[in-house]
Every structure is written in structure tokens, then in C-alpha cells.
Structure 1
Amino acid sequence: MAVVEETTETAEVVANPDGTLTRRESLEPQRVRREGKWVPIDLSLEVRADGSVGPKAAAVDVRLSRGGAGDRLAVAVRDGKEIGIGWDGALPAPRLSGAVATYPEVLPGVDLTVRVTGKGFSQLLVVKNREAAADSRLKEISFPHHTRGVTPRATAEGKIEVVDEQGAVVFGGDASRMWDSSVRVAATSASRSASSLSTMGFEVTPEATVVRPDPGYLTAQERVFPVMIDPEYWWAGTKLNHAVVQSAWPDEHNFNKTSGDLGDLKAGYQNGYISRSYFDFTVAAMHGKVIHRAKVRPRVVHSWGCAGGPTELWHAWGVGWDTTWNHQPALGAKQGDIGKANNAAYCPSDGAAEVPVDGPVRAAAAEGWATVTFMLRAKNEARQEDWRKFALDPVLEVVYNSYPSLPAELGMEGGLIPCVTGGTRPFVATPTPRLRGKVSDPDNGMLSVRYALHRGPVGDSQLVWNATQDNVPSGSFSEVTVPSGVIVDGVYNWSLYANDGGQSSRWVGNCEFEIDRVAPGVPAITSTDYPGGGQQTPAGGVGQTGTFTVSANGTADAVAFLWSVTDQQNDDPQTRIAADAPGGSGVFRWTPTASGALNVFVRSVDRAGNRSPIVRYPVYVNAGDPLTGSLNGHWKLDGNLVDSSTGGRTLVAEGGATTTATGYLGQAAPVGNGKYLHTNTSVLDTATSYSVSAWARLDQTGNWAGVVTQDGSRNSGFQLQATPDGKWAIVMFSRDQDGGGPVHARAISPENAQIGAWTHLTGVYDHGVGELRLYVNGAFAVKVTYTSTWSASGPLQVGASQWAGNRIETFPGAIDDVRAYQRVLVPSEAAALANESVLRAHYPLSKGSGTTATDLVTNSNATLAGTATWAQVGGEDAVKFTGQLGAGYGAVDAPRPTLRTDRSYTVSAFVRLDTTEYAAYAAVSLRGTRNSPFMLEYRPELKKWSLQVSHSETQDGVWWAPASDVVESGRWVHLTAVYDHARREVRMYVDGAFAGLTAGVTGWNGAGELMIGGGVWRGQAVDPFLGAVRGVRVYSGALPDELIGQLPVQN
């Protein structure tokens, strides 16, 4: 069975039935990844959909010209890097044959061919006759470069290398060779003569590779045409390499060359010279493996005859750029002989051969070699009959296995009890514990796991039980349960090992434990913040953290306690706190999120995990206004600096700060440029739980801009702030010293602040759990851990911060409605503060005349457009709409109210439909460039009133939030829709009563004006209302239910 995850372009791994694996590593790529699947290499050329020419499937993709002027001749592409060459002039359309593209007659009597190889391409100018060889244009031939992410350059050895920005060689190349056709293509020959090859000069410039063929070579009388002139490129990233060295060309560097007759491997004597072939395989995957057997499988593609002597396979010490006939690697041991014959005319065969190579592969696995190299040569290098040619696809086949990894993560009871030896050994309550360990095998096979349990400590124990678990997948936990009757009181130890069917890991473990089956006694619990006694002793309040102390109450081995809080009469506490010492006490903090009668439950846990009976501790949390409880300061900033809470801490203005700007709620304080506000004394104890909130309008970014902070001696105790990169944050520092100490706990919003927009911020420090939390526009944004508390005793600052004893970072913008609580604000309270509703527009649309309608909030005028008219409908003065599109379209166009539709908002109106058939009818909307962000309308598909919220300005999706009530035509009805940003929901109300909720809705901020009587979709006016509308109101914020119920009466 194939091990798919081990497959690469050159390797495949098969799992054998006996548990071993077989890895086959090929010299050349055999497969390539296409659309998530491996497909076989197919170098056959095809015309692609874009008109280019290329191989069907290649490890290094090659794009060839389809002909014409200005097109690149050939480009090799790998891992985003590209190297290619062009042709100076127009190219004819190519003739395709297998992996070869031929561009005929690019010069008179000269063809240009490109052959795709396993790692790149080889381009040949084919000079077909003597007349063509005399062409002066062959004296210097320029091949323009194409590159992407690489640079070609010439080397000192006279080759080409193509490097990336880091200087790593990505492609190799050669432009120094030309040869003629003195190769005898016959049954008894397959190689060139010693005089057939010539070296030519070349130059690599930034623009091109320029070759200069030897004129004397081209015009020599013995020349056999055609003559080939060769630049080629290949991918250098492969770890598998080869080189053919030949005695006739003793200094020729043929490393990884495949052009001409170097497209295969050769061994033996022919035509007066000797060939030898070197090739290597990567063996990194074999490191540390147990090698059962290994063999090299070369394939003979041609032998001189049928009865030649053998070709020898030797282990060699490497092959590289410097390998030539005169510089051959040292040899190791001979591995074996290849006597296979394959002569198409006289003794055809499949050419398959194999030679055992156990020795070098075992050495490579044991010593961590990167590669193992082999060499082919004829045993008799003086006899032509022994000559053989091999395909450039030898395979290294290795059958191997791996030692299982040492078991890890040993433990008991599902990992809750760790593996320990010695005096800190755990105590265990059960006599049938579960033992486990995580086992793995580098080969990812199935494993057997052997356990052994001994009675007594390590070094003085006796085996009392063992077990084996079979068929455990690699990378998973093995677990066994000790059966009843094996364990009694006392000390035990256990170990385990893994076996893959062939090899075993070492024993690991020596995990000791001691049995203790006696449960602890009940604990005692006390709290001064929330005294027990239930309703008889009301205390605290929502968001006010309480401290509880639990003691062992005389149980000497109680090491921990479990606690919980619920409104139920029974519970199984699970939150764990440690005792300060065995038999000691522990402390936990709890912050109520609801008022009324609650129960705290606690129990003790001893060293073995035995649990005591549960103790119930009743408490009663005081009720009250959730937004005024423990309110230490509230500054509305509506034209004054007065503290509206009972604290009485009036703010002081610095730098000419005022409270006269337009705020989110009434007026606000513009700060920045040295303007800020502060109290004269501290407001909060920052060493315990607190919350601060404010509306803030950030006008620019660039510094750590404090919205609300409180001074220490050197630094602010906390900073609710904007960050330099335009996000919101709350930060606390671990020390009141220059630099803030080693810990800067900063909870930063994941979303950017919206410049110029009013945003509600709530920062919370929950001392009970040691967390800083940030809420933005009522929605939870982020939390971080913080436990390094200290009390900042200086004044509260609005719009400024303190750092290293200096006043810094005044806030560039405006601030409104600042609050400070000496308690935790819970999520619903943060949402309530952000959702505070403000009436932004109110159009009665009654008793009107002409074409204008007045907004009672801003005194702005809206315009009746198109067919919208004043009318009395159903006994009420209103605006009447005809429900027509095109020329008959009518609407009331009003200025945009002061609200954002990506925040909470409320829209309401009296509406009266003439019919519930045919179409959608929009009563109130905001215009959008393309889509309305919302439309309060009737939907015929649902036969319901609904708030339609579009997904975005550019997306066409919508949420429909329908009301449950049946819609009747010819009757006035009051509609209210609330978008609650903090809860991501829309609530619908009909005639003041709740009528439906749709969750999972996310609004976006539209930039258009208010539109009564229609909406916008895909840039067009749509859903014209058919009926009448009056009493339109728009609020920023989420109007509460009690006020929604009053709207039909107020209108």
C-alpha cells in the first residue's frame, strides 16, 4: 500500500505486509503535483489553452514559443523563478514531436529545436549543410535572456549558473558545446567519435547569452552534417545528480548535462574512448533506519552486442560540478556486475537489471550521509563488445524499518496524573488506575505496546501484572486499565515499550504511585464581602468582586478545593484552587453577573484525588440599577464639568479645554494640543476590580493617546487609549516606575478605530480572574491576563496620560460621557452603555403642504419628490406613495441623520399598505451608492414586515429580519426595528410589542441620506412604497423595550 504522504517527485514509499517499508528513489523526476494529486511525468509537448507550447506534466515547467515575433523561445519555471532565452527575429510555428519542438529554417539551412528534459530544456541550432555553415550570422549568435527572480552569470569553469537574490544557484546551464553527426545510429553503435565535439566561446551579459561557434570546426572537410550548437538550462535545486565522463574529452564538465548524446548513462569502450557514469541518490530519509536490503536498478537501453562482458557498479565518493575524466571521485567497494544485454536488432529485452548495495546504504543510514553515489564502468574497458548505454532513470530501492520512538507523555487517569519517581510520587484513589503513553513510529505503522506493573518503589519491586495492547496507530495514546484485584495498598511503579513488529523501543517509565482510598473531611468557607446566610445577609452587587477563603477544616492531606456558584440548590463544583499547604487553605474571587439568591458550593480534594462531601454556602447579591452601582464618577460633559455621581469630583480644565463641542450624547469636550481634563483626587483603586467607559471621537492617529487614565507617581495606573497604529486598547503596567516595569498588559482591539466617528469604549479590570477586557461599541473585543496589581493614587485624567512623571499624549479628538466604576461591568452592561439611544431624526409627516417636511430634531427639511404627495389616508394626515417605478417613482428625500449603521440603531414609523400582493414595499431606508444598508419594508415572499440588512455596499446578499404578525392591507400599523450591534441581532416590534428576533446579523455603515418610501439596490431605486407613511423616527443606539412600547402613543 502506498504511503502517500512520503511521495515526492523522485520518491515513492510502499508499506509491506510484514511491517517494513520499501522506498524507491529515482534519479530523474517521475511524477508531478497537479491539482492536489500526483500524476506521471509526461514530457510530450502540447498546445495549451493560452496558445503557448509546453509539456503535459513536468517537474520543471517549460513554456515554448508558438511562433511569431517578440515571443520568448523557451522559459523554464520552478518555484516562482524563471530563466529563458529568446531568438532575435520572428519564429515560425513549431513542429511538435514528443518532447521536441522544431522551428524550421530560422536561418537558411538552419533549424532551431528545443527538447524538454526532466529538469529543464536543451536548445539546439541544427546547421543542416555546408552552405548554411558558411552563413556569417553563425559567427556570433545572441540569445536574449528572460528572467524572473534570478540572474544568470558565467562561472570560472566556463559554465552558466543562475542565482536568486540570496546568491543560491537555482538553475544550471551550458553554452560551450557544439558537435556534428558523426554518430553512427545503427544497431551496433550509439555514440559519437572523438572528433565530433568542439568547445565554443560564449559570454553572459545582463541582456543575453552570446555564443561564438568555432568557424574552423564548422567548415572542416571531415565535418558530418547536421552540426548542433547547444545552450541548455536545467533546474539545480534537485538533490540528485549525474555526470558522464569520457576519456576523449578529459577536462569536459558534464555535470547534469542532458543535451546531445548526454541524455543517458554510458559505460565502456567505443570508437577509441572510454565512458563512465556517476550518479547519486539522496538518502536523508534513511537516517537512523534499519536497512534490511537495498539495490540499484539501472535499465540497459542498448548494448553493443549480446554476449559482452559485464558492467560493474561501484560505490563512489560523490559527484559534482568538478567531476571530469581527469578529476574523478574516489571509489569505495565494488557492488556487483550487470550482464544484461539489450540490442534491438539481435537480442531485444526490457533491459532491467539490479545490483545489491546493502553496504553503502547501511553506512549512509548509520552515519547520516546526505547522498550515496554510484559509478558504472565496463569490467574490460578495452573491448567494444562490453559497451552499454543505460537510461537516465536508475532507481535506488531500499527495504527498511524504523525503531519506534520512545513512548512519551506517560501518565495515569487520562493524563491527569503525571509520571513521577521518588518522594513526589502521586497518590491515587482508585485500585484500577488507567495507565497510558503516547507512542509513535517514524514509519507511521501500527504498534503493539507492552506494559509492566511492579509492586514496590523502583529498585525494590516485583512484577505483579503485565499487558499488551495491539494495533495502536502511530502518534496516538495507548491506554490500559489495571484489573481489579491486582493492586492493594502501597507503592507501585510501571513502565512500557512499543514494538512495530520488527523493532522495539527501549522500556521507559519507572512511574511510581501510592494508593490512598480515604476521602477527606468537609471544608469550611468564609467571606467578608458576601457573608453566608442568603437573603438574611444581602451584600455586594452585580460586578462587585468578592473574596472567599476555603480551609481544610482539619483534614491534613487536603491539597486543593473545588468551587462553583449557581442559582440552583445542588451542583458539582469543578473550578480548582490549590491549598497554600497540605491541610491549609485556598482563596478564590468571584464577580456576580446577576443579583438575588445564589449558592456557592465547595469541596476538598486530597493528594490522591479523593473528594469530600459538598458544602453549600448561600449568598444574596444586592439588587439595584446596574449602571449606577459602585459608580465612583460620571461626567456627562454637557456644557459643564460636574460629576453626576455621588462622588462629587468636579473636573478641572487644562490648556483651555471646554465642553461646548457637539457630542454623541449632547455636548462633549474637544481635547488635544495640550487640552485635557482631570480630577483633583483619585477616583478608582486600581489594585482591585474597576471599569471605565467613554464615548471617544479619534480625529487622527500617531501616538499613545489616552481617553481615560489615572495617575500614579510615575505612570498611569491604567490607560484606556488609542494606539499609534489606530486601534483601541486598555493597558496596565506592572510597576509604578519609569518604563512601567517588565509587564505591559495591553488588550488591543483587533479592528481599527474609525477615524472621525464616535465610538463607545469600555475597559474592565477583573481582579477576581486577573483579566483586562476591552469592549468596543458594546461588543467584547479582546482580553489579556494581568495580575501585577498596584494602586495608582493620583487624579483621573480625561484626554491625557502620565509616563515617567510627565503629562503626555493628549487625545486628538473629543470625549463624551465618561464613567468610572469600582467594580466589573459585565457584558450586558457594556452593551447597554454603548446602546444608549439618542433621537437623531423625527419627521411627523402630518398636516404638510408644498414639497417640504421638517425634522423636529434638527429643523432640517426633507423634500417630497416624484409622485409622493400629502394626503389624508385612513383618517390620518400622511405622505401617500403610488408604488410606481421609473417616471412614477416617489419618495421623501431627507438629510442623513447623525448615526452609523455599523453601530446600533433604531428606526420606527406608522405605515399603511394598500395591498399585500405583488411586490416588496420599502417604508424607510438609507440610500447607498449601490445598496441601502437597511430597508424597513414589506416582503411578499414572507408576507411579513421585515428589516432588510444588506451584506455590504458591494455584495448582493441580505438578511431578512421579519416580524411574526400577520400583515393586513388598509390598516395603520406602527413598526419599530432595532439593530443591536453588540448582540449582532435585529429585533422587530409591531404596535409597540415585541414581534421577532433574527440573530447573526452584521451591519455596515452606509453613506447615503434618509429615504422614506423606497430603497436602493444594485444602484437602482427599488421597492417603491404603495400606501402611506407618517411618524418616522430614527435613533442612534438600541431603544429599550419600555420606550418602544410608548412610541405608538407618542406618535
Structure 2
Amino acid sequence: MAGRTGHGRARRAAAVAVIAAGTVLATPGTVFAALGGLEPKQPLVADLGTGGAPCASGAERPFVRSVPQLTARLYGPGGGQPGEVSRVSGEFEVWWQGEGGAEERVTMTTTPRPDTTPFTWQLPGEIPDGAVVSWRVRAVNDAGASAWSSEGAGAPCEFVYDRTVPDAPVVTSSDYPDDGTWTPGVGVRGTFHVTAQAEDVTAFSYSFIGGPLKTVQAGPDGSAEIRFLPEKSGSQTLSVQAEDRAGNRGPSTRYTFRISTGPAPVAQWKLTDAAGSRSAAAETGSAARAGAGVTFGASAPSGTPLTSTASLDGSGHGFLTPGAPAVTDTAKTFAVGGWVRPGRVDGTRTALSQDAGTARAFTLGLTQVAGGPKWSFSVGGARVTGGLPETGAWAYVLGQYDAETGTARLYVNGRAAGEEVAAVPVAGEGAFQIGRARGAQGYRDRWQGEIGDVRAYDRIVVASEVEDLATRAARRLGHWALDTAPGGLAPEEGGGAPLKLGTGASLYRLDDPCDPLDLECGWDFPLEADGDGHLRLDGVAGHAVTDAPVVDTSGSFTISVRVRLTDDAPTKPMTAISQGGEHGDAFKVRYDPENFSWDLVMSHADEPGAPETVLSRIEGPDGNQGIGHRLTVVYDASVKQVSFYVDGVKLGEGGTADFAAAWKSTGGLQLGRGRTADGWGEYLHGAVDSVFAYEGVLSERDINHLPWLLAAGH
């Protein structure tokens, strides 16, 4: 080591630049002041760094996992004043206690450079692991050397080079044991205890399968807790690594546990009781007494398992109550929800609540805000509002309080509505109420309308569960396979209204004779798996139409069709499918050759020149090759949104748009043409196959499985 030190001194001597008084060494744009006979200024500790960390010593010294680079700002005789740039060298000195207790030192001197530039030294790899390493620096010029940065008011910089990784931590959990058992858990938070196996562990990096990498700080005892909210059932694995002061991460501990479905509601009333009943049977909890203003046997939301609901007349007798709380502790996490259809949306209308003395712990229903009525969920003094209640329209509403985050959320028809708000709950051990809320002068804010399938949970209801609770299965209205057309009528497979083929429309079948001279002959084949034919349209007048509307365009609907364009360079817009009124189309899907796109066009009114909402997907023309594209339109009236799918794919945010201008069309379903300013036009030149129409919103999964849904009877 002595040889290394001597070599350092030799390099330093060779590196010192001698600048004669009055001599100016310059690069373009730079002027160096030569202050003859003056030594550089002492470096400041505040201007020094170790591997990106500021200079520190003692308990503040950094721990690094790689040999660091030292950095310094040095000052010539002018002290770094404007206009007084000098050339200096930086002399670094590093020392530590060797294995035998003897001090070892290494030095290095940089080449001369302007004192406005940073001076650095990448330390050699021989720096020992685990030792406290000290260092200092000084500036050198032809007149001599400055004081060391450690002298006077300064101090040596220190660091510890630590390349030893910590051992894998120990993970345990009583909530979700790693013993092969299935634990009821969806929506129930659990705690995992992590314990370090080394004294210098400061944090733990962890991730759950499918989740992001996160970090939790270790406590003074080297342990930490990880909280986890399961959002789906199945086997799950937690991977944890210990991280020490230097940032070294050790091997992972993998902790596997099994999650079953979430616990059932703590209280539930389907409200499907027989007409004339004076109480509602409970699936869980106590039966609910019904006031005289409650009538059972009311209609239920279509597409749900409910067969009937309870109708409340909005009077003082229109309520149900079990006479006991449904949520036993409103200071803890809970959720309440159900199907509701308001008969009135004026004022404040409470569907569900729970008494808290002469007030209420929470309420779920609708209220009036700027702009009109909104769905509402209140906890304590906090309220979250969102969604648009409509008279006579079913909605699934659910309010949720999360005690861990201290926030309240509202869901309408399976989606978050409004903004999550901070809430401070109040004790509410009074009776649960359906159709009214407690006030200082008695019960008030009474519900008028229908309510069904009321549930209360003592856990988080995760997003997928909320979506499932709110799902209304789409009902198929029609399927036209377009394989045959006896008498010019393509039948609906369930016996419904046929599609009438107009001039320029014909059915192609795989077993039809084929003219070898027909350019289309060699390429034509069935487009879909549900048959062996399809509809050909000539692009001049070809179309097919039903006598009456197929879908109610003012409500939720799904329309899907397979289309292949014949041309490889279309010259005009062409409509594949539409349904409208006298002057315009409530919806139409057309190909726009100018933009090379399939467009969904939603008209805001049955009026000439009405505004339109357009969603687009870039696609080149087919040129009569391949199987074309499946085009699907979904309108969800419950949230006033329209979505457009091409081959089962919705393009992110651009595939969905708000649309509150839906109107009820009076015309039949059209294949191959749409309304224009001059009447019927935009005739399609191509092939159309396998048309589906549904009342309601078809799920993305089902959209991707058309037409195989037929085999399942959907």
C-alpha cells in the first residue's frame, strides 16, 4: 500500500500545471484569471458528495452498495467569483482501517481544469467491504495547495461500502395462512407480518402476483406489516425482499395463500315476497316488518335473478325495517346497496339508512344538487353524489365506507359515481330502514318507487362484485345468420321479423355454383362460423331491412354485424348497419374512405342536420379478402355512454363517449344503407353476415365470443 501512496504523489507532481503570472490560457468564450503567487481556496464540505449523497460523517454517513464516485467543487485564488476563473487540480485522499488495524491511504490528483467544472474520482475497486471509509480533498495550483476540506471548521467525509445482501425475511399471517387452506377473503383486508433476518434492514420490497412493486419501511425492531385487500379468489403469492441501508436487496421469500369468495352479506332481503305479505323474509338477518304503504309483487329489473320487488308509496306507511341494525358497527368498513326504481326524483328520497339516535348513521338514495337530482350516499356529515336518477328507470346503487382509508364511495350501475370523499362515521346502532331516514322530528325523506334485493356487508365489496351485482343480462332480440332468403326474406333464427332483401342484395352460399370468370368467385366464402352463407350488396341499391325497429334506441342495446368490403379503394362512404327515423339515423356504422376508418355515428335527434357523436377506428379496406370485421355498437342508457368495438376491441378511452341525446327510432333495422341529406344513400359494396341484436348491454367477454354464444343459448 505504501507503493500505491508514493505512486499517487508522483502522479500529483506530474499533474500540477505551472502558469506564469499574467499568462492567459483560454478556450473560446472562456477567460482564466492568473492570480500569480496566490494559493487556491479551501474546499467547502457542503460542496462535496459521495456517490450522489452529500458529505456526512458519524451516524449520518451513507451506506453504498457500489464503489462510489467522489465529487467536489474547488475554488482557485479568486474563490469562484464572477469573472475570476482559475485552473486548479483536485487532490483527493481516502483512508480506512485495514484488516490488521493499520491505516491505509490512497490518493489521486486530477489534471488541471477550470475551477468552474466539477472534480470527480471514481474510487478503485479495492475499497473494503464493511469498513468506514473517510476522505477529503484540496485544490492545488502552481503557487501551492489549499487547506484540506477536513481542516478547520471542516470535517472528513465518510461512507461505508456494503455489498453484503441481507437474508430472506420471514413472512407470517394469521389472516391468510400459508398452509393450503382456503380463507374467505375477497373484500376482506389481511395483515402480513414481515421480520428481517439482519440488523441493518431498513425496508422491505414486496409485490403480489399481478400487482406493482411496493416498499414498506422497517420499524426499529426490523419488522413491518403489509396490508392486502383481495379482489379475486384463487391462489395468491406474496414476494418479499429485505433491503439494507446500502440498498442491497436479498433473496425473495415467497408466501403463498389461498383466497375463497368473500363472506356473504350480513343482512339481505330480496323483497320478492308474495303480494299481501306484511313482512319481508330475510336471506340473512331478521325479517323486515312492512308498513301499510308497501306492496309486494311489483315488477323487477329485467335481466336479473329478481322475479319481483317491493313498491313503496312514499307515505308515512311506506317503509320496511327489521327493528335492528344491519350494520353492527358503522365505525368499521361496511357497504349497503340494492336495486331501486324511483317513482319521483324531486326532493330527497332515501332508499336505505340506519338510525343513530334521532339522526342517521348513513343514508343511500337520491338528493337535489345544482343541476338536478343525483344519487347520493352520506356517512356522518360527508356526502358523495353522482349519476342521474330518472323516474321509472332501474338502477343498482351501492354506498361503501372504507374505515382503513376513511373514505366513502358511491357506485351506480356497477361503476364509481362522483368523487370519493373523506368521511368521519357516527355511531349508529339503531334500526336499519328501507324507504326512509331518521330525523330530529321523526322519519322523513321517504322513498316512492320500487326497491329490490337489499344487502348489507361488513367488508369491502370489490369492483368486480359491484359490477356483478349491477349486471343486467342482455336479452337477445334477433339473430340473422343470412344463410338463406326464401322469397327474398332472410329469417330471424328465433322466428322473429325477417330481413327483406331489396334490389341489389343477394345471398351467397358456399354450395352455390361459381362462375370462374367472376372475380369475386375465387375469394368468396362464409364470413362467420354460424352458417355457410352471407349477404352480398352491390353498392348501388342493395340493402335489407326489417319492417319495424329491432332495438329501442332510447334504451340500452347492443348491435353487432360482420362486414367485408369488396373494394380495395372505396370512393364514397358506405353504411353497413343503421336504424333511425324519418330524417336521420339513431345510429349507423359506416366506412369512411377519406379517413380509412370505420365510424359509429350517433345522431342527437331525428332532424335534418342534427348534431352527431362519432367514434372511429382506423382500418384499411378489405379488397374482398379475409373475413372482414365484426362491428359492435353498445349503448348503455344507465350511464348515458356509447361504445364502439371493432373485432371485439374497444380502443381505450376513444372507444367510449358520453351520449345523453338518445332518441327512440321508428324505422326498421337497415343493412347496407343509411340516411343522408338526400334520402337513402351510402350503399355498401361488400358482404354482410351474422347480425345480432340485444336489449341491454352485452359484456366485452360475450362480444368477443359472438357467434359462439348461440351454442350456449344466449
TM-score scaled by length of structure 2:
0.57
Gaps of 5+ in 2: 1-28, 31-46, 73-81, 85-91, 95-112, 137-153, 513-530
Contact 2:168 2:253 in 1 (8 A): no
SS of the counterpart of 2:294? coil
Deviations 1:893-920 (A, max 9, x none): 338738635xxx3235899999999977
Aligned residue pairs total 561
Matched, 1:727 2:374: yes
Q: 1:587 aligns with which of 215, 225, 233?
A: 225
Q: Percent identity?
A: 22
Q: One-letter code of the match for 2:436?
A: A
**Which residue in 2 is equivalent to 1:1012?**
669
Could you say which residue in structure 2 is the equivalent of 1:528? Answer: 174
1:565 aligned partner: 207
Match of 1:831 among 456, 462, 467: 467
**Alpha carbons of structure 1 residues 514 and 543: separation in structure 2 relative to 1, 3 Å:** farther
Q: Which one-letter code corresponds to 2:665 in the other structure?
A: E
Structure 2: distance between partners of 1:715 and 1:794: 10
Aligned pairs for 1:859-898 (under 5 A) are 892-894=547-549, 897=552
Alpha-carbon distance change, 921 to 545 in structure 1, aligned in 2, over 3 angstroms = same
- Offset at residue 814 of structure 1 (A): 3.8
For 1:709 and 1:532, locate their aligned partners in 2 and report how far apart those are by CA, in whole Å: 39
Query: What's the offset of the Cα at 1:840?
Result: 7.9
Compared CA separation, residues 923 and 490, structure 1 to 2 (3 A): closer
In 1, Cα distance between equivalents of 2:246 and 2:121: 18
Alignment of 1:152-191 (within 5 A): none
Residues 238-288 of structure 1 show CA distances to partners (whole Å, capped at 9, x for unaligned) of xxxxxxxxxxxxxxxxxxxxxxxxxxxxxxxxxxxxxxxxxxxxxxxxxxx
Amino acid aligned to 1:808:
R
Amino acid at match of 2:206: S
**AA aligned opposite 2:175:** D
Is the aligned partner of 1:574 residue 2:214? yes
One-letter code of the match for 1:599? T
Distance 1:841 1:532, change over 3 A: same
Deviation at 1:703, TM superposition (A): 4.8
Aligned to 2:290: 653
SS of structure 2 residue aligned to 1:894: coil
Q: Deviations over 1:180-228 (max 9, x none)?
A: xxxxxxxxxxxxxxxxxxxxxxxxxxxxxxxxxxxxxxxxxxxxxxxxx
Shift of 1:884: 8.4
Deviations 1:342-382 (A, max 9, x none): xxxxxxxxxxxxxxxxxxxxxxxxxxxxxxxxxxxxxxxxx
Cα deviation, residue 930, structure 1: 7.0
Q: Which residue identity does 1:810 align to in structure 2?
A: R
Q: Which residue of 2 aligns with 1:1038?
A: 698
- Return the letter of the residue paired with 2:395: T
Report if aligned partners of 2:553, 2:663 keep a CA contact under 8 Å in 1. Answer: no
Paired position in structure 2 for 1:548: 192
Aligned partner of 2:63 in structure 1 is: 429
Contact kept? 1:631, 1:819, Cα under 8 Å: yes
Counterpart AA for 2:207: V
Does the alignment pair 1:678 with 2:334?
A: no
Against the structure 1 CA distance between its residues 843 and 596, is the aligned structure 2 distance closer, same or farther, given a 3 Å change threshold? closer
1:1019, 1:821 → 2: CA distance? 58
Alpha-carbon separation, structure 2, partners of 1:898 and 1:668: 26
1:189 maps to what in 2? none
Which whole-Å CA distance do the structure 2 matches of 1:1019 and 1:512 have between them? 88
| Cα separation, partners in 2 of 1:1022 and 1:815, compared to 1, 3 Å | farther
- What does 1:126-145 align with in structure 2 at a 5 Å threshold? none
Deviation at 1:1008, TM superposition (A): 1.8
State how far apart, in whole Å, the 1-side matches of 2:351 and 2:459 are: 19
Taking a change above 3 Å as real, the CA distance of residues 1024 and 521 of structure 1, as seen in their structure-2 partners, is closer
Could you tell me which amino acid in structure 2 is paired with residue 676 of structure 1? F
- Identify which of 580, 588, 601 aligns with 1:927: 580
Cα contact 1:979–1:987 (8 A) shared by 2: no
| CA deviation profile, 1:582-607 (whole Å, cap 9, x unmatched) | 2165433211223333222335567x
Matched, 1:539 2:183: yes
Once residues 269 and 498 of structure 2 are traced to their aligned partners in structure 1, the CA distance between those partners, rounded to angstroms, is 39
Give the 3-state SS of the residue equivalent to 1:724 in structure 2.
strand
| Residue identity matched to 1:1007 | W
Q: SS at the partner of 2:465?
A: helix
**Equivalent of 1:1002 in 621, 644, 656:** 656
Q: Which amino acid in 1 is paired with 2:215?
A: T
Q: For the residues of structure 2 that align with 1:698 and 1:471, how far apart are their CA atoms?
A: 75
Change (3 A) 1:724 1:530: same
2:240 to 602, 609, 625: 602
Q: Equivalent residue for 1:907? A: 559
How big is each residue's C-alpha offset from its partner over 1:984-1004, in whole Å with a ceiling of 9 and x where there is no partner? Answer: 754467xxxxx5544432342
- 2:615·2:644 contact (CA, 8 Å) conserved in 1? no
1:187 aligns with none
Give the C-alpha shift of residue 837 in structure 1.
Answer: 1.9
Distance 1:769 1:785 in 2: 10
Contact 1:537 1:619 in 2 (8 A): no
Q: What's the Cα RMSD here?
A: 6.6
Deviation at 1:614, TM superposition (A): 5.0
Gap change, CA 1:577 and 1:718, over 3 Å in 2: farther
User: Contact 1:691/1:765 (CA < 8 Å) preserved in 2?
Assistant: yes
Query: C-alpha offsets along residues 723-779 of structure 1, whole Å, 9 cap, x if unaligned?
Result: 33033343333xxxxxxxxxx444433x65556543333434445555433333333
Report if aligned partners of 1:707, 1:799 keep a CA contact under 8 Å in 2: yes
Report deviation, 1:956: 3.9
Shift of the alpha carbon at 1:1036? 1.4
Question: Could you tell me how far apart the structure 1 residues matched to 2:622 and 2:282 are?
Answer: 46
For structure 1, list consecutive stretches of 5 or more residues without a partner in the other structure. Answer: 1-16, 19-409, 437-445, 456-467, 473-478, 494-509, 734-743, 990-994
Which structure exhibits the higher relative contact order, with contacts defined as CA atoms closer than 8 Å and separated by 6 or more residues?
2
> What's 1:210 paired with?
none
Counterparts in 2 of 1:113-132, with a 5 A limit? none
- C-alpha distance in 1 between matches for 2:357 and 2:428: 7
Instruction: Give the residue type in structure 2 aligned to 1:935.
Output: K
AA of the residue aligned to 2:182: P
Q: Deviations along 1:440-467, whole A, 9 cap, x unmatched?
A: xxxxxx999xxxx9x9xxxxxxxxxxxx
Whole-Å separation in 2 of the counterparts to 1:678 and 1:420 = 68
Q: 1:833 to 1:756 in 2, by over 3 A?
A: same
The partner residue of 1:630 within 264, 270, 277 is 264
Q: Is the 8 A contact 1:632 1:645 kept in 2?
A: no
- Taking the aligned partners of 1:961 and 1:936, their CA distance within structure 2 comes to 11
Conserved? CA contact 1:633–1:645, under 8 Å? yes
Partner residue, 1:950: 602
Change (3 A) 1:688 1:843: same
SS at match of 2:467: helix
Q: Which amino acid letter does the alignment assign opposite residue 588 of structure 1?
A: I
Contact 2:319 2:436 in 1 (8 A): yes
Which residue of structure 2 aligns with residue 706 of structure 1? 350
Deviations along 1:1002-1044, one digit per CA (max 9) or x if unpaired, are 3424112253126556796655789999986432122574685
For 2:237, what is the secondary structure of its paired residue? Answer: strand
**One-letter amino acid of the counterpart of residue 397, structure 2:** L
Q: Is the 8 A contact 1:918 1:940 kept in 2?
A: yes
Larger Rg: 1
Query: Residue 656 of structure 2: SS of its match in structure 1?
Result: coil
Q: What is the SS of the residue equivalent to 2:466?
A: helix
- Partner Cα distance (1:522, 1:955) in 2: 63
2:472 and 2:333 map into 1 onto residues whose CA distance is 24
Q: Which amino acid aligns with 1:429?
A: F
Q: SS in structure 2 opposite 1:829?
A: helix
Q: Which residue of 2 aligns with 1:779?
A: 415
Alpha-carbon distance between aligned partners in 1 of 2:693 and 2:235, rounded to the nearest angstrom = 41
Distance 1:795 1:753 in 2: 26
8 Å CA contact retained: 1:867, 1:882? no
